[in-house]
């Protein structure tokens, strides 16, 4: 087996999933994560279709994911007084199983921590490749050498920037910003959520962890801003400016925002690249082909991508040149299909005018009675299942 030592940047979903499969196939994974510890909180992520469930099942974590699932039902759009205007079916949002991102991250960490070296509170500063490996320097730790490096570090991938170039070459801004944090379930929501939409804005509250808490979610239309992604105070100021006086629960949630333990704020975008690998470096998950948080596909796509990348490395006996080419061949069409689920969603979720917002509310109210009412959920399931997973255990070359 060639190239056994693999450095993975990012400990969210794609990174630990890749570490699991690399170890399974005889590689030695190390994960470096900028955050000082596992990140809790975050929005709910969902898995739909046999491809997603097959990867979870083969990893042996499907039962744990099922136990921690949100159990979300339908989502209601309400007016300023909180009166229901329309109800969206659960399958459109939750798929076959939905789980909070933080809960999934904990399951993946617990599954991999005994055979994966985790280095928290550090990040890669440079990558220098030669014929036999990659010399890596870090912000805090001593330089180290690895056979391969994989960026699983999300939309704003540091690995992608160091290897392929500036973010603006690959990230397409979808015209929205989002924020999410944990708060009290003061509406008494029972495995459901309420959303309030105005021109250029959407604010929602949905129950979490079996109604013991809730997640507050904000989307607002904006061109890309020059913001420090670690300046939480400025991010909260922007959110307050956008939603104070917006109506419904907006003011209360803005007030609770500053006490939240897990405030998250970011632009909404997709990643489009002609190639996901270069030399001894590869990208996986959102770093390579982020479909955006609006698609409902990101986490499932990340799990499948990690499974395929590790499997192709095993099938090629560690030969990264063969494996990386096969990885791109196997994943390109699937990733493109998943990304299409995020196209156009921004304008439907957060319409630019009061007239369009009012029209969509009326349309959603009639949707259960219209032909093709399940079209969106059907399209999402078709995209999620549009890949045939290879059995890499049988393809693996002897060590």
Higher per-residue confidence, 317 vs 229:
317
Structure confidence at residue 371 (pLDDT): 55
Statement: residue 373 has pLDDT above 80: no
Range of the domain at 333: 5-349+377-395
Give the chain's domain count: 1
Predicted model pTM: 0.92
Residue 357 lies in a domain: no
Structure confidence at residue 354 (pLDDT): 73
Residue 367 lies in a domain: no
Residue 355 lies in a domain: no
- Three-state secondary structure of the chain: CCCCEEEEECCCCHHHHHHHHHHHCCCEEEEEECCCCCCCCCCEEEECHHHHHHHHHHHCCHHHHHHCCCCCCCEEEECCCCCEEEEECHHHHHCCEEEEHHHHHHHHHHHHCCCCEEEECCCEEEEEECCCCEEEEECCCCCEEECEEEECCCCCCHHHHHHHCCHHHCEEEEEEEEEEEEECCCCCCCCCEEEEEECCEEEEEEEECCCCEEEEEEEEECCCCCCCCCCHHHHHHHHHHHHCCCCCCHHHHHHHHCCCCCCEEEEEEEECCCCCEECCEEECCHHHHCCCCCCCCHHHHHHHHHHHHHHHHHHCCCCHHHHHHHHHHHHHHHHHHHHHCCCCHHHHHCCCCHHHHHHHHHHHHHHHHCCCCCHHHHHHHHHHCCCCCCCHHHHCCCC
Give 281-328 pLDDT, tens digit per residue: 999 999 999 999 888 888 999 999 999 999 999 999 999 999 999 999
Structure confidence at residue 258 (pLDDT): 92
Residue 39 lies in a domain: yes
User: What mean pLDDT is predicted for residues 60-84?
Assistant: 90
Structure confidence at residue 139 (pLDDT): 98
Share of the chain above pLDDT 70, in %: 90
What CATH number corresponds to the domain at position 203? 3.50.50.60
Residue 15 lies in a domain: yes
Give 151-178 pLDDT, tens digit per residue: 999 999 999 999 999 999 999 999 999 9
Structure confidence at residue 375 (pLDDT): 59
Residue 292 lies in a domain: yes
Residue 95 lies in a domain: yes
The pLDDT mean for the chain works out to 90
Structure confidence at residue 39 (pLDDT): 85
Residue 360 lies in a domain: no
């Amino acid at each position: 087996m060639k190239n056994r030592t693999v450095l993975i940047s990012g400990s969210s979903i794609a990174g630990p999933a890749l570490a699991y499969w690399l170890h399974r196939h005889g590689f030695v994974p190390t994960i470096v994560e900028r955050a000082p510890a596992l990140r809790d909180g975050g929005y709910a992520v969902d898995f739909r279709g046999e491809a997603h469930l097959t990867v979870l099942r083969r990893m042996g974590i499907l039962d744990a994911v099922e136990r921690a699932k949100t159990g979300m039902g339908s989502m209601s759009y309400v007016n300023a007084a909180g009166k229901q205007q329309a109800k969206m079916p659960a399958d459109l949002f939750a798929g076959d199983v939905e789980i909070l991102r933080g809960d999934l991250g904990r399951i993946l960490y617990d599954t991999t921590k005994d055979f994966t070296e985790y280095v928290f509170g550090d990040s890669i500063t440079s990558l220098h490749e030669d014929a036999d490996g990659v010399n890596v320097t870090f912000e805090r730790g001593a330089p180290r050498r690895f056979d391969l490096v994989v960026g699983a570090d999300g939309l704003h991938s540091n690995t992608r920037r160091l290897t392929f170039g500036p973010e603006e070459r690959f990230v397409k801004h979808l015209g929205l910003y989002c924020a999410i944090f944990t708060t009290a379930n003061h509406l008494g929501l029972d495995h459901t959520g309420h959303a309030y939409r105005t021109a250029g804005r959407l604010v929602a509250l949905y129950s979490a962890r079996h109604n013991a808490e809730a997640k507050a979610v904000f989307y607002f239309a904006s061109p890309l801003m020059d913001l420090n992604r670690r300046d939480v105070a400025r991010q909260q100021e922007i959110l307050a400016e956008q939603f104070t006086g917006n109506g419904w629960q907006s003011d209360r949630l803005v007030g609770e925002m500053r006490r939240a333990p897990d405030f998250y704020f970011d632009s909404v975008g997709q990643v489009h690249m002609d190639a996901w690998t270069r030399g001894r470096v590869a990208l996986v998950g959102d770093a390579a082909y982020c479909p955006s948080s609006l698609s409902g596909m990101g986490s499932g796509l990340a799990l499948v991508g990690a499974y395929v990348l590790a499997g192709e490395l095993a099938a090629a006996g560690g030969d990264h040149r063969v494996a990386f080419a096969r990885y791109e061949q196997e994943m390109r069409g699937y990733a493109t299909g998943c990304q299409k689920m995020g196209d156009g969603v921004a304008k439907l979720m957060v319409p630019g005018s009061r007239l369009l917002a009012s029209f969509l509310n009326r349309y959603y109210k009639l949707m259960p009675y219209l032909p093709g009412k399940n079209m969106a959920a059907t399209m999402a399931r078709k995209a999620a299942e549009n890949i045939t997973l290879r059995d890499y255990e049988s393809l693996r070359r002897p060590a």
